[in-house]
Chains A and B, each alone.
Chain A
Amino acid sequence: MSNRGPSTPSSIKGRLRALEGGRRENETPDLRGVPSTYRGLAEPAMDKRLVHRMMAKSRVLEERLVQMTRSGDGYFWIGGPGEEAFNVCLGLLVKKGQGPEFDYLHLHYRSSAILVAMGMDVADALRQMASKATDPFSGGRNFVNHYAIKEWNVVPGASTIETQYAIAPGTALAQLRHGGDGITIVNGGDAGAAEGDFSTCLNWVSRPGRELPVLILVMNNDWGISTAGHETHGEQPIARRAEPYGIRWDTVDGNDPVASWKKLIEVLAYIRKERKPFCLEVAVSRLHGHSSSSGGARVTDETDCMVEFEARLAQEGVLSAAESKKIREGYAKALAETLLKIREEPDPDPSMVHDHTFQEEG
Chain B
Amino acid sequence: MITISMAERTRLEKKYPEVFQPNFLRRWGLLVGAGLALLYLIFCWFFFSVGPALKNGRWDRAAIYVQDWYSWRAQPRLRFQDDAVVPQWSSRGQYAEGATIDWLTPHANGSMTATFGSESNRLEISTAQVDVYLDGVPYAIAITDDAALAPENAPPEIEQDGRKVLVNYGFAGQAEIRDNQVAVQRRFLGWANFLYDPSSPLWGNDLFSTIGLVFSSDRVVAEKSNAQLVLDEWLGNRAWQHGDILAKLMQTLVMAFVGTLFATLVAFPLAFIAARNITASRPANWLMKRSFDFLRSIDMLIWALFFTRGFGPGPIPGIAAIFFADTGALGKVYAEALENLDDKQREGIKSVGASPAAVNRFGVVPQVLPVFISQSLYFWESNTRSATVIGAVGAGGIGLKLLEAMGTNSDWDKVAYMVLLILLVVFLFDNVSNAIRSRLIGTTH
Bound pair: A and B? no
